Structure 1
């Protein structure tokens, strides 16, 4: 079967499994209908031939040939989609995850449902393959930049082109910090993929915890004149893994700072929801908004936000994905909610940790 190509040039195979039988919700019913149809036609035909004086030795073989032909015609409709599904599976085994099967609107039986499930599986595999490609491309790019800068600066110092001044050494240190941050992101990503969820649970004060989390961010943000306003009661206590939660809040707050104009505020407010035993924290980036259709997309790995029209924000594209992972480890959620003030990231965490049965 010819495979049309999409706009990207990648093969996009679509295998049609439409067939004469497919209106019923069960393959057993379809087979039963096929047997009834073939038997009825054979009975009528043999009756007609015998009535008009045909010899039984001629009528019976002729009737059997007609019945087998009818059965063969309809059985092709039952077997063909399975053959096409097999071909599609073989194409996927060779690495073509773009292959899909067309179920048609009249396919309601087990084969039709199998085809739709196959399409869903193919979609997930194609997405996973694209994620793998993105991982290689992103890691290569993110590693190349600081390594190239380090190599150039160290070679210049070794050749005596530049002096090892405090400013040059600080530049080297900044590049090593960038490499360290990237390695930490990749380690977190590997934990996400492995499902690692070991937590060191302790009770702590949320206000003090957020104050400690914000301090290094304010230092790193020097020069942009952002004002981080914290509206959190000092008597809110909760349970959780402070290291994992610090990843969560650091990534969310850093994202808000990155997408805020200079000389603007970032608001952090928290309150306890006594009705369901959770603590709700909102990190609001004044002025900017996130379109509703993009609110789920930004939490996917390697998806980078925009600092302006057609301009990516930089970074690894892993921060928000890791933040959501850290929240899920605690049985919480992170999402973007409607807020007239600006982009509002709402973090909902249980006040008390519930130990897993696993």
Structure 2
């Protein structure tokens, strides 16, 4: 079979319409180039002719020699050409440093207005105002893109969390109506548990929305730290004893009158959530220790357990909503909806405090709260 020598079948050969359009663009560029050269040549001729006439008149008036006339002519032509070129060069550099970055920011702003949050402004070397403007714009779009992604993830996670209990409730009720299940107290109680889970999830989402808006209600008062930890330990002493886990409180290093300004109920909610997580992941004969001490002008409260720990790569995501890298963030084993630690962080931040976590896998996990002293 003879090879096809049609140029259209050879790789790398451009299509005819593309080649024609490229030739058209080149003709336009050539025309512009020759037009510019003709204009520049005409200007040179006008400058040279004008300087010739001016030199002749000046030489005759001053009575100079022909050599002086040539020197004056060369100097005048040089200045007449060099000064406009210098002005054009300075104007071009100024345009590149000012107009180009500003145009890039304006184009990027239009793209963001159209919904494209992935746009970025190219940054240039240097520390001028336009470089800082481009960097600030890029930081803003990155934050907007991250917030938008979090919003999308939150919507998907909420739908997922609501779907499971709703399906269970719907299935149980349909089974009762169809006669598949008997409406026993145990079956009704299981369905009621799912409704409680839904109510808790809705309450948690409401709390988070208030915290995000900076409107989380706090009943601020002086709270005794030692009493706060003692109350939490008393609340979970029965559950800890049933699981054969030692629940200890160490506040000896604190003064009995050490107080923080905060909402006792909200702080109790934070510590209770941490203790619940600790009980969930601490094996029999393990320990959970609540400690408090003064650090600078703040009270540092720690909840330490001798449980299974958290992998190092998972630590940055512990306080994220609905995070699922850890079994503590699922419903299995009586776990919550994955919002407890996120709410705890928001409550601590509302108290102008900080919360962090450290862990050694299969050994210990420590949550640390730092709240300013009253």
Q: Report if TM-score (shorter chain) is over 0.5.
A: yes
In the aligned structure 2, how far is the partner of 1:221 from the partner of 1:147? 32
Q: Which has the higher contact order (CA 8 A, sep 6+)?
A: 1
Correspondence for 2:345: 324
Structure exhibiting the larger radius of gyration computed from Cα positions: 2
2:249 aligns to what?
Answer: 231
**Which of these residues, 218, 239, 253, is aligned with residue 275 of structure 2?**
253
Shift of 1:256: 2.5
Partners of 1:50 and 1:170 lie apart in 2 by: 112
Partner residue of 2:152? 133
Contact kept? 2:286, 2:307, Cα under 8 Å: no
Provide the C-alpha distance between the structure 1 equivalents of 2:106 and 2:331, rounded to a whole number of angstroms.
42
CA contact (8 A) 1:98 1:122 kept: yes
CA contact (8 A) 1:200 1:241 kept: yes
Q: 1:183 to 1:288 in 2, by over 3 A?
A: same
Deviation at 1:137, TM superposition (A): 0.5
* Structure 1 residue matching 2:300: 3-state secondary structure: strand
State the alpha-carbon separation in 2 of the partners of residues 76 and 304 from structure 1.
52
Quick check: 2:356–2:368 contact (8 Å CA) kept in 1?
yes
Q: What stretches of structure 2 of length at least 5 have no aligned partner?
A: 1-50, 52-68
Q: 1:283: Cα distance to partner?
A: 1.1
Closer/same/farther in 2, CA of residues 59 and 141 from structure 1, 3 Å limit: same
Partner residue, 2:119? 99
The alpha-carbon distance between structure 1 residues 228 and 163, as it changes in their structure 2 partners (threshold 3 A), is: farther
Q: Among 259, 262, 265, which residue is 2:286 paired with?
A: 265
Mapping of residues 269-288 of structure 1, within 5 Å: 269-273=290-294, 276=296, 278-288=298-308
Q: CA deviation at 1:351?
A: 4.3
Match of 2:32 in 1: none
Residue aligned with 2:138, SS: helix
| 1:1-358 matches, cutoff 5 A | 51=71, 53=73, 62-63=81-82, 65-78=84-97, 79-104=99-124, 106-203=125-222, 206=225, 209-210=228-229, 212-213=231-232, 225=243, 227-233=245-251, 235=256, 238-239=259-260, 240-258=262-280, 260-263=281-284, 265-273=286-294, 276=296, 278-290=298-310, 294-307=314-327, 315-337=336-358, 341-352=363-374
Rate the CA distance shift 1:159–1:113 in 2: closer, same or farther, 3 A.
same
Q: Quickly say closer, same or farther: Cα 1:108–1:350, change in 2 above 3 A.
A: closer
The structure with the greater share of residues assigned to helix is 2
CA separation in 2, counterparts of 1:174 and 1:312? Answer: 12
Q: Answer yes or no: is the 8 Å Cα contact 2:120–2:138 preserved in 1.
A: yes
Deviation at 1:61, TM superposition (A): 6.7
2 CA distance for matches of 1:238 and 1:149? 46
Query: When the two structures are aligned, how many residues end up with a matched partner?
Result: 298
Is the contact between residue 240 and residue 247 of structure 2 (CA under 8 Å) also seen in structure 1?
A: no
Structure 1 238/59 Cα, relative in aligned 2: closer, same or farther at 3 Å? Answer: closer
TM-score (structure 1 length as normaliser): 0.70
Q: Give the structure 2 partner of residue 9 of structure 1.
A: none
TM-score by length of 2: 0.67
Alpha-carbon distance in structure 2 between the residues aligned to 1:120 and 1:110? 15
- Classify 1:293/1:77 alpha carbon distance in 2 versus 1 (closer, same or farther; 3 Å): farther
Preserved CA contact (<8 Å) 1:138 1:316: no
Corresponding residue SS for 1:100: coil
CA RMSD of aligned residues (A): 3.6
